[in-house]
Amino acid sequence: MKGTVEVWIWIVAGIIAGLLILTLGYSYSLQMINTVTEQSVLEQYDELYTQTNELCWSYLGNQKEANLILNKNIIGIYLTSDQYGEYNNTDLIDSIIKENVSSGDFLCIKIKNKKTICKQLDCNARIPFLGAVPIEFSLTSLINQIKGNPESFEYNLILKRDNVGVNITKINIKTTNEDFISPIIQNAQINPTSGPMDTVFIITAEITDSSGVNATTTIAHIQNPDETDIALITLYDDGLHSDGAVNDNIYGNTWDSTGFPLAPYYVDITACDILGNCRENENI
């Protein structure tokens, strides 16, 4: 009887340990997904700000199109005349559901558990309150989050210059579980960091993506300070190009500086996934 009890204790302990490992792994995975998704949304927010500002100085009737894909961590995007008069989450969600229109010369984005970011435009504008309206929990949604494809809300927008400023309207909104996240490029290194004209530099970076990295797009751009390319070096994860082990997500290659003037150079690294989502890390 004692032996049977001990066996069951080990079984229960193993189950608990397995669940703990699964939970920790899911939490880390979700944290990474949220970080990269947040970065992607901020890039879209910056692009929306730039497009709106360009129209501020444009002729009446000129227009542009914009696209935003927001996940549940984005509480709202809106306009206001007071960058310090922050909306609370409940009011923002209510305004999104009711499709209220905001106006002002500060374009703001509020991210869950982060400080609201507001950037001043060169004119007044109008935009519907935009955000990822919370939905009820579902197993499908959870599985998609684990796979790196959290449920998101996609907005198609029209920006038009009028006699008041810039009017932004939404022409379409849909939910999607498609992977729109660009590859993660991190731990980029150049070794050595400087040297004479005949130095061979080793360039490496860790590149990952939930859908898979397109290995033909992992490129190091050797550039002059004015950002013109002087060499394009394809980075590999085959264990044969100073990249470590094969398929370890470390991409690498070498650049032989022989024949190039002794001068400061910069390196940008670009990568796309198999769905065409691309990212660039500048000036590593």
Residue 176 has what pLDDT? 59
Residue 190: partners with Cβ closer than 8 Å, 6 or more residues away: 201, 202, 203, 267, 284
Kindly state the DSSP code that residue 273 receives in the 8-state scheme. Answer: B
Is 166 within 8 Å of 104 (Cβ atoms)? no
Task: Please list the rounded mean pLDDT of every run of 10 residues in the chain (284 residues).
Answer: 54 57 45 58 91 95 89 87 85 88 94 88 95 55 48 86 94 65 88 93 92 91 92 95 93 95 93 86 82
Answer yes or no: pTM beyond 0.85: no
Tokens of 197: 């004209």
Q: Which domains does the chain have, with CATH numbers?
A: 10-176 (no CATH), 184-281 (2.60.40.1930)
